[in-house]
């Protein structure tokens, strides 16, 4: 897993682009966004489901707090051959 982090900016809308590929039909992972501040709770700030059929899922996230964030892919990944999730400000990840 590679993690590149930065601070979210208050008042900006964010999108998540994510995809995964699995040999199991109907497999779905979840992208979960949490605070990366030291001592922060494990509360999920935003989440989106990602079908593991190789297509890119694009979901809007509510305004995120202006703080470091942790982005996790959750769910059984034993049969997942590849997966990624990227969260960025909406203008940077416009849906095409």
Mean pLDDT (whole number) for 57-86: 88
Tens digit of pLDDT for each residue in 8-61? Answer: 777 778 888 999 999 999 999 999 988 888 898 889 988 999 999 999 999 988
Choose among 70, 73, 71: nearest CA to 50. Answer: 73
Residue pair 45/34 in contact (Cβ under 8 Å)? The answer is yes
Mean pLDDT (whole number) for 83-90: 88
Task: Give the chain's count of helices (H) and strands (E).
Answer: 0, 6
């Amino acid at each position: 897993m590679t993690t590149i982090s930065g601070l979210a900016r208050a008042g900006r809308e964010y999108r998540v682009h994510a995809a995964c590929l699995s040999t199991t039909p109907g497999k779905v992972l979840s992208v979960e966004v949490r605070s990366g501040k030291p001592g922060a709770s494990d509360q999920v700030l935003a989440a989106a489901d990602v079908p593991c059929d190789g297509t890119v899922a694009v979901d809007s996230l509510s305004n995120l707090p202006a703080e470091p964030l942790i982005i996790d892919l959750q769910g059984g990944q034993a049969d997942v051959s590849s997966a990624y999730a990227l969260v960025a400000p909406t203008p940077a990840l416009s849906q095409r």
